[in-house]
Structure 1
């Protein structure tokens, strides 16, 4: 069986909004289809639009949904906060559920709520989504603005709390500010290569090399708009091969963006189709240990390095 650790999906947004089930649904990801991977770990994001977060308490509603779904499926999946937790889950035949926040607007950029989120189990945090906020500009709003002083305080707090910092939606200036300030590895949980496809959410070569220098990872995103070109597996491989050319063997992971986008890479309609990517990488003569690193080991190393409490 293929081992899998996916660094980003938005499945719980739909579970919270629609009352769907994690066990089986018509989304990109569910536990029934996940059973073909062992071991299996997943970063589930907590996210809502800025408007929804102002109108409803998306954070609290999401925590309630997470608790409900994990309780219903406790024999299949468990909440994990550390790599050791994940290994314990794997030993018991369970999947490992890690949680992230996508955009500080979800917690109103509030450090008190950040402490609550970390205590619950949040282990990865993106300062912005597509919207800018008081902490930083995003890749598509206030894109010239980097970290504010409040944003710098957040970065220091995330380091102190042993929470991974995710730069996927940040402005370029924000990326470099975080890179300079963070004392821990950083990740771009769901970002491809800007050299291959010029999308503001993708990474420049300099940015990817900076992630390497900090011993982080970039997660390959299956969103067609970020793949570019034919947006098929062949085109997706171009992003992976380019990162490999930059000596990224230990710094590429997966960040599928399942249930966070409507149009996926052609040939991949949900998590059931990820073996097609695995096989395509092997067909490109990428050594299987490198493929396995991309599919699970590289991201797990970052979790092991940072998430120690």
Structure 2
């Protein structure tokens, strides 16, 4: 089988490095990381998004956020062949090969504590995507598991506008529906769902309704289908064929040019059978090629993502 380039819009390596700074992204002899440099090379990856995620037991401040970004600079960007993706030009260059792009995102704005100045500092440090909250509520928005299912706060709406101004991509994956629609009505720029699946295939709170998917397509955004088993298939183990059902549904809704993947590797303890780490991406490619043309599969894996970044990241 020929080598196929790939991209992935969500992994949680930085979270694991934050909790255990003895781990190595370059050479993980402990086998505690899903995403490592050798496995990205095995996947012919040309871009990986690294999320900054601060777990509940850590303080919700800039301190762990900055510690995570420091780890990104010291342990990821120093790896041979990695390149920082901050601009549209950085993204476009990745199609030429020769390096693996690393894009930095923030999963949950809790630590910004409602201060746009903190966001501007993170932008200077290279953060280029932001999910306003995780599954619960914070100062900006309600997440999918927040009982009240409210929307964006006044400060949340202001942060959306600041992201639009700076050129930070907004990520709706963890937002509850009201927060999602508030963002739709506020943002003047296209946005993404970095790691969510199709609710019409698997009825999980973290998945997107058909109407939400249509709204993302309407603004020329992207949906990153994810490999979290409970988001892939209800009530049991999931395999690659189950992932393909979400691909099919997204395409049925007109999302062929808006489909990417956001694995959530290193954020999960259980994996889709056959997709335990980036090095197994070839199995997904083989399955996709049974139903889709080579051109379509290349779009799913690379062209949709890089085309979007080349258009919507800062110049």
**Given the two structures, how large is their TM-score scaled by the length of structure 2?**
0.93
Residue-by-residue CA offset, 1:12-55 (whole Å, 9 max, x unaligned): 11122212111122211111111124451011000111331338
- In structure 2, the residue matched to 1:160 is 165
Partner residue in 1 for 2:63: 57
Q: How many residues align?
A: 307
Counterparts of 1:117 and 1:56, CA distance in 2: 10
- Whether contact under 8 Å (1:12, 1:45) holds in the other structure is yes
Alignment of 1:232 with 2:234, yes or no, is no
Of the candidates 100, 109, 113, which is equivalent to residue 108 of structure 1? 113
Q: Which residue of 1 aligns with 2:180?
A: 175
> More deviation in 53-62 or 167-176?
53-62
SS in 2 for 1:279: helix
In 1: Cα distance, 2:164 partner to 2:241 partner: 37
User: Which among 284, 288, 291 is matched to residue 294 of structure 2?
Assistant: 288
Give the unaligned 5+ runs of structure 1.
none
CA distance in 1, matches of 2:243, 2:43: 21
1:60-139 equivalent positions in 2, closer than 5 A = 60-70=66-76, 72-73=78-79, 75-88=80-93, 91=96, 93-139=98-144
Residue 175 (structure 1) shift: 0.5
Any unmatched runs of 5+ in structure 2? none
Counterpart Cα distance in 1 of 2:313 and 2:35: 25
- Is the 2:92–2:307 contact (alpha carbons within 8 Å) kept by the matching residues of 1? no
Q: Does 2:38 align with 1:32?
A: yes
Q: 1:165 to 1:280 in 2, by over 3 A?
A: same
CA contact (8 A) 1:185 1:302 kept: no
Query: How does the TM-score come out when normalised to structure 1?
Result: 0.94
Check if 1:46 corresponds to 2:52: yes
User: How many Å separate the matches in 2 of 1:126 and 1:41?
Assistant: 19
Counterparts of 1:39 and 1:204, CA distance in 2:
29
Q: Which one of 272, 280, 305 corresponds to residue 311 of structure 2?
A: 305
C-alpha separation in 1, matches of 2:148 and 2:293: 38
